[in-house]
Amino acid sequence: MSDIYKVEQESIHLRRQAKEMVDNAAEEGYSTIDLSAVEFVSRSVADELIHRSEQHDVELAGLEGDVDMMIEAVSGQLRQTAD
């Protein structure tokens, strides 16, 4: 089995979807989630992806375009509130 969990959805709008995706990937033993096919994630999804991936020690890969920008925006906001 590959250690990369490939997400095939073009967009992820619901926090619940992100939670289930990361939880399932971690339970199945994946160490990386490939989001290269995803073109859009909402701010709440980006937040959930960051928190769940850190909680389960799962890497987010294939971040491109709007998805990368949203993850970076939320990550930056989280870093500022932690300071």
Q: Is the pTM of this model over 0.75?
A: yes
Residue 1: the pLDDT is: 47
Average of pLDDT values for 45-55? 95
Q: Residue 62 to residues 36, 80, 82: CA-CA distances in angstroms? A: 4, 25, 26
Q: What is the pLDDT of residues 64-81, one digit of tens each?
A: 999 999 999 998 875 566
Question: Which range is least confidently modeled, 32-36, 41-45, 53-57, 77-81?
Answer: 77-81
In angstroms, the CA 19 to CA 31 distance is: 15
Residues composing the chain: 83
